[in-house]
């Protein structure tokens, strides 16, 4: 099957930036725009030029500086908006004016309070006006998914005759479902007599979680342009996700009869830049760019991937710009995964060392049962044999810590001491110090904090605390990890304390 080129219209800097808290300054917008050009998008919608002087300036700066993609900005179907876009995108190699006007009865009756004929004339006049200012015009029939089909087709025919070179069919409120949406696009292409004079585009929102599926259904039905955002950000539940659409077309090109010019190796770097600049993290299980998208923690999956990645991966991490898949070591991991990770950090095992490896695996499981994720630092400890289970004379039951700019930091700690729950409260220079003082109230042991270090590790922001504590004339090292640094510090302190108690009772040697 011959494959059609699909234009990727990125609206991260316009629709994506409308998310509360995600606005960018001019330099940040320019940085993202340059990365989108490196990604290979065909069109960058750089903003809403008439909305503010700052946005106008940002659109103009992008038009002046970013080479390759078409540069456009959004306008309402009014002359002042159209003039603002025309002036802002004028410096671009390929400028475009993108205008939007509703076609649904909902919008006509309750937003514009005008008749179908009035809105149709308004749209045609706007296109003609814009056509005199810019050679490339895109017209969006807002809320198309809830519009009367005959009126929608009549509008598309009229604006194409007026000079629109792209007609966009938006599912503005995320109302569409893939089967009906694909059928709508197919019927439009078959029904509008002059549709061959313009490219058909779609712009889908994710209110029902189907923006990507709807966009792909439209591509299958004949759409030539798809509008989307990095990481799927946008109004309300977001827009169709660029990375999902692009990789679906790449992986299933024969089915869709389509391809894009996106450099997929730039997907992950672009995703990271957008989430950092817009302060919009993505969930770990997000397709393509989520932290877990190429991670495996199940022993069965890990074994299968290590034998042949295609057992459980349909694309490689390198395809989207991630260095490699990740084998996450947890209590569910098997021997194959552990051996693989140990080899990556420098340890090898021959078949003759099977019994030795069994002991290492047992120590690994002992650690994995107590931690969400076993890290490389843990593996080194396991290999050094420093993971002997220390009896917990003092076991953390619960704690509460309070700190602030004003007031004295306080902490309450509850410990299980030999089967009895004991509680103490204390003040300190900070919440960690207060917690240590509360522990000292319970244990009555003469301890001296010699040094502590904290590192952030793992994908969940886990805090790994190492603490050296002096008891009498000896020093004991405690280690612990938790997502809360106070909890990690308490557990590390107790770990050192339990080592001291175990050593002096003859359970373990220092």
334-380 residue pLDDT tens: 777 787 777 765 677 766 667 777 778 877 777 776 666 777 667 76
Cα gap 422→138, rounded to integer Å = 71
Number of domains in the chain: 3
Stretch among 158-172, 205-219, 493-507 having the lowest mean pLDDT: 493-507
Per-residue pLDDT, 457: 55
One domain for residues 236 and 374: no
Kindly give the residue spans of alpha helices, DSSP state H, lying in 132-266.
149-162, 178-191, 211-221, 242-251, 253-256
Per-residue pLDDT, 506: 44
Cα gap 361→304, rounded to integer Å = 19
The separation between CA 137 and the C-alpha centre of its own chain, rounded to angstroms, equals 32
One domain for residues 360 and 398: no
Burial of 231 (0-12, 13-18, 19+ CB in 10 A): buried
User: Which residues span the domain enclosing 355?
Assistant: 295-383
Stretch among 120-124, 143-147, 213-217, 505-509 having the lowest mean pLDDT: 505-509
One domain for residues 81 and 131: yes
Q: Is residue 41 part of a domain?
A: yes
Stretch among 298-302, 395-399, 472-476, 499-503 having the lowest mean pLDDT: 298-302
Residue 305 pLDDT class (50, 70, 90 cuts): very low
Structure confidence by residue, pLDDT tens digits, 497-509: 887 887 665 433 3
Per-residue pLDDT, 314: 66
One domain for residues 363 and 341: yes
Burial of 350 (0-12, 13-18, 19+ CB in 10 A): exposed
Per the model's pLDDT, the better-predicted residue between 211 and 510 turns out to be 211
Per-residue pLDDT, 19: 87
| pLDDT above 70: percentage of residues in the chain | 86
Question: Residue 423 belongs to a domain with what CATH number?
Answer: 3.30.160.270
Last residue of a domain, one of 244, 278, 312: 278
One domain for residues 225 and 265: yes
One domain for residues 126 and 254: yes
Residue 303 pLDDT class (50, 70, 90 cuts): low
Structure confidence by residue, pLDDT tens digits, 247-274: 999 999 999 999 999 999 999 889 988 9
Residue 312 clears pLDDT 60, i.e. is over it? no
Q: Is residue 286 part of a domain?
A: no
Per the model's pLDDT, the better-predicted residue between 507 and 196 turns out to be 196
Structure confidence by residue, pLDDT tens digits, 46-78: 999 999 999 999 999 999 999 999 999 999 999
Residue 196 pLDDT class (50, 70, 90 cuts): very high
Cα gap 241→354, rounded to integer Å = 47
181-196: average pLDDT: 98
Cα gap 51→129, rounded to integer Å = 20
Q: What is the C-alpha radius of gyration for the chain, rounded to an integer number of angstroms? A: 30
């Amino acid at each position: 099957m011959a494959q059609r080129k699909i234009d990727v219209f990125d609206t991260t800097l316009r629709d994506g930036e409308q998310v509360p808290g995600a606005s960018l300054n001019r330099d940040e917008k320019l940085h993202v725009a340059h990365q989108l050009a490196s990604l290979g998008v065909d069109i960058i919608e750089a903003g809403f030029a008439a909305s503010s002087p700052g946005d106008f300036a940002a659109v103009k700066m992008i038009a002046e500086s970013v080479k390759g993609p078409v540069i456009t900005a959004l306008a309402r179907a009014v002359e002042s908006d159209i003039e603002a876009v025309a002036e802002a995108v004028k410096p671009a190699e390929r400028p475009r004016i993108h205008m939007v006007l509703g076609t649904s009865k909902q919008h006509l009756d309750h937003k514009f309070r005008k008749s179908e004929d009035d809105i149709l004339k308004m749209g045609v006049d706007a296109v003609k006006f814009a056509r005199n200012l810019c050679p490339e015009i895109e017209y969006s029939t807002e809320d198309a998914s809830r519009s009367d089909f005959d009126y929608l087709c009549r509008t598309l025919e009229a604006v194409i005759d007026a000079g629109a070179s792209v007609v966009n069919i938006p599912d503005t409120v995320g109302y569409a479902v893939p089967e009906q949406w694909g059928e709508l696009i197919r019927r439009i292409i078959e029904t509008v007599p002059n549709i061959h004079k313009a490219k058909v585009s779609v712009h889908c929102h994710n209110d029902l979680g189907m923006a990507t599926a709807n966009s792909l259904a439209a591509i299958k039905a004949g759409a030539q342009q798809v509008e989307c955002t990095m990481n799927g950000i946008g109004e309300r539940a977001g827009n169709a996700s660029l990375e999902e659409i692009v990789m679906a077309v790449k992986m299933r090109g024969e089915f869709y009869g389509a391809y894009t010019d996106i450099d997929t190796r730039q997907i992950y770097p672009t995703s990271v830049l957008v989430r950092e600049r817009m302060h919009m993290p993505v969930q770990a299980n997000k397709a393509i760019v989520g932290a877990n998208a190429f991670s495996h923690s199940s022993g069965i999956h890990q074994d299968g991937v290590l034998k042949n990645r295609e057992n459980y991966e349909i694309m490689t991490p390198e395809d989207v710009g991630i260095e490699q898949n990740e084998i996450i070591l947890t209590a569910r991991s098997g021997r194959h995964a552990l051996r693989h990770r140990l080899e990556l950090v420098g340890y090898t095992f021959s078949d003759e060392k099977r019994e030795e490896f069994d002991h290492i695996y047992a120590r690994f499981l002992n650690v994995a049962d107590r931690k969400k994720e076993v890290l490389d630092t843990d593996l080194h400890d396991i290999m050094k044999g420093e993971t002997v289970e220390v009896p917990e004379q003092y076991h953390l039951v619960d704690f509460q810590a309070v700190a602030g700019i004003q007031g004295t930091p306080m902490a309450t700690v509850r410990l299980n001491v030999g089967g009895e729950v004991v509680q103490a409260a204390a003040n300190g220079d900070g919440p960690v110090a207060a917690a240590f003082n509360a522990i000292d109230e319970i244990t009555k042991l003469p301890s001296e904090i010699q040094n502590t270090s904290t590192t952030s590790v793992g994908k969940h922001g886990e805090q790994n605390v190492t603490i050296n504590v002096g008891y009498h004339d000896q020093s004991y090292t405690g280690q612990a990890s938790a997502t809360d640094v106070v909890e990690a510090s308490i557990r590390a302190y107790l770990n050192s304390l339990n080592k001291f108690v175990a050593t002096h009772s003859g359970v373990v040697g220092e």
